[in-house]
Chains A and B, each alone.
Chain A
Amino acid sequence: MSTDSARVMTGKRLVPVYLGYAVALLVFFSPIVFMVWSAFRDSIDISSSPFNLGSGLSLDNFEKVFSEFNFLRYTINSLLIAGASTLIGLVIGAPAAYVVVRRKWRSLAFFMLVARMAPGIMFLLPIFVLSVSLGAPSNTALNYALLILAHVIVTLPLCVWLLVPYFEAVPESIEESAMVDGANVLRRFRQIALPLVAPGLAVSVILSFIFSWNYFLFALALANSDTIPLPAIAFSFIGEGQSDYGGLMAASTLISLPALILAVAAQKWLVRGLTGGAVK
């Protein structure tokens, strides 16, 4: 606490900083507060007096989206698709990132960059054609499998790119001494390199999960009414339920829940992941 004290600002110099904080919070954070607040308000209250702080709060909107629409199912779908695609992205991506570093295999890294830069619809078109010819729209298990695989296109390049700098920091000498002890490639990777990049794995899991959870384009075209995840179903409410802002904001709050929780609980990892690559 005291070691940093030379850089920590104090006294009157804090006033302009906190003024800046206030403006930034008003501009960039108050809409989020407004969204969560509206989720607990009656739709009629929202339309008659948008700013009335005294209006009553209730869980009605949440009850409604769970009872009238099958939101529990959509939430589970989201968890399943984001969770499975994150796991696959990590299990496949971590060894790949290791190989990129150890073999200085730039072309593989470049290929992952292509996947990151290509517009999603480029992948969606062929997958959609394939999905129809396989009969996936009417086959729930197949539909889940295709959605998870499609989301791996989001998670795999992300995991590889996030993990490369972490593997670069693992000294070759540690592995060399393990090799002298007779450890094979798989053991070297699993027992030496992988534990040393644990922070990178945490960053990858968190960011992959968020990105996969947020991604709605693939599900929009591929999912059926049983497999559709939260963001895609919320999109389909636009238009029909436009006047029911309470319900829409309850849905939005549910979709935002992982982001809101992680912003508080995993701030350090999120900042590392989002700024990783740009700042060393």
Chain B
Amino acid sequence: MSTDVKNRLTPAKVPPPVRSSAMPFVSRGVWPLALPAIVISLVLVALPIIWTFILAGSSSRPNGGFIGLANFEKLFSDALFWDSLRITMFFFVVCLIVETILGLGLGYLLSLDVPGRKIFQAAMLVPAIVASVAVGLLWLLIFDPSLGIANALLGTIGIDPVVWLGDPKIAPWAIVIVDIWQWTPFMALIIGAGIRSLPAEPFEAAAIDGATGWRKAIFVGLPLLAPVLTVAMLLRTVDLIRFFDTVYVMTQGGPVNSTNTLNVYGYRAAFIDQDPGYAATLQITLFAIVIIVAALFTAARRRFTIEY
């Protein structure tokens, strides 16, 4: 308390002693502020990840002991694992492509300055921030074979009712629809903000060269937007490869494992099959795939996008 007053009364005192390192003034001595975060992340993040690796190398039977890479051998010969990998990649590719294309359109719409834009934006925010459990429950009702809107809509154009979530051929597409509904507005928000921050000059230059609306958008707008667009795609990529929430709420991986993503398989292995060792192995594999795909994506992004 008293030193406070003293310091205030005697400004321009001697600055802290200069050390030989080239570290800027303001950087010195700040690191203890990160101490709580370091401790918490070691306990909550590093320790569980290490523990997961130990689990993967241990037998799930009591007193089974250390079994090395046996769980990974099991993984490679497990048809259900390869199936879940294929399903995960299917969701990833289809959802990312559709969400990006629709997101560009909706993002353009969100970028326009018209009366009522704020109200429209508020409505588009909702799917992106509503809990996945609520989204799943809502779409369970929409896809209900007898009382859902989905079949009622099909009925109006003369198509017979579909058992959306009960048919292994259709259920993955129903999940795709839900994911596109839930995450296209999120992509659009990022893309819309990106469009609004684009510089005007390149467009004016292109207009002088005689480029019209569409040409300007594709040959000038899209390359300029690439840095923002690819970040949005990267965020979706990480989430799609770990796809869990709505699938688990709506189908729990069924019917006949047709929507069994890697993450859902991992959860079921842990808490339904009660095989923590194998579940840990699945999770490590999933984590590795997330990192590899994100790294490839980031490398491609660096290679192909221009900074302005």
Contact = CB atoms under 8 A, between A and B. Distances in A.
A216 B131 contact: yes
A255 interface: yes
A53 interface: no
Contacts of B147: 46-47, 50, 245
Nearest to A234: B133
Contacts of A149: 44
A119 B131 contact: no
A8 B280 CA distance: 54
B271 A221 contact: yes
A264 B164 CA distance: 33
B190 A249 contact: no
Contact of B137 (A18, A156, A188, A251): A251
Contact of A99 (B33, B106, B267): B33
B222 interface: no
A259 B128 CA distance: 9
Contacts of A103: 27, 30-31
Given A29-B124, A264-B122, A255 B33 contact: no
A199 interface: no
Interface residues of B, number: 102
Nearest to B106: A24
Interface of B: 7-8, 10-13, 15-16, 24-27, 29-34, 36-38, 40-41, 44-49, 51-52, 55, 105-106, 109, 112-116, 118, 120-134, 136-142, 144, 146-149, 152, 181, 184-186, 189-190, 193-194, 197, 228, 231-232, 235, 238, 242, 244-245, 249, 263, 266-267, 270-271, 276, 279-280, 283-284, 286-287, 290-291, 294
Given A4-B113, A98-B30, A98-B33, 15 more contacts: A9-B112, A14-B114, A31-B138, A35-B134, A92-B37, A102-B30, A103-B27, A118-B287, A118-B290, A125-B51, A156-B41, A179-B16, A179-B26, A251-B137, A278-B235
Interface of A: 4, 7-9, 14, 17-18, 20-21, 24-25, 27-29, 31-32, 34-35, 38, 46-47, 50-51, 91-93, 95-96, 98-100, 102-105, 108, 111-112, 114-129, 149-150, 152-153, 156, 160, 172, 175-176, 179-183, 185-186, 188-189, 210, 213-214, 216-217, 221, 231-232, 234-235, 238, 242, 245, 248-249, 251-253, 255-256, 259-260, 262-264, 267, 270-271, 274-275, 277-280
16 contacts: A8-B115, A21-B120, A24-B106, A32-B138, A47-B147, A92-B36, A118-B290, A119-B290, A122-B284, A122-B287, A125-B276, A129-B51, A176-B26, A182-B7, A248-B140, A249-B137
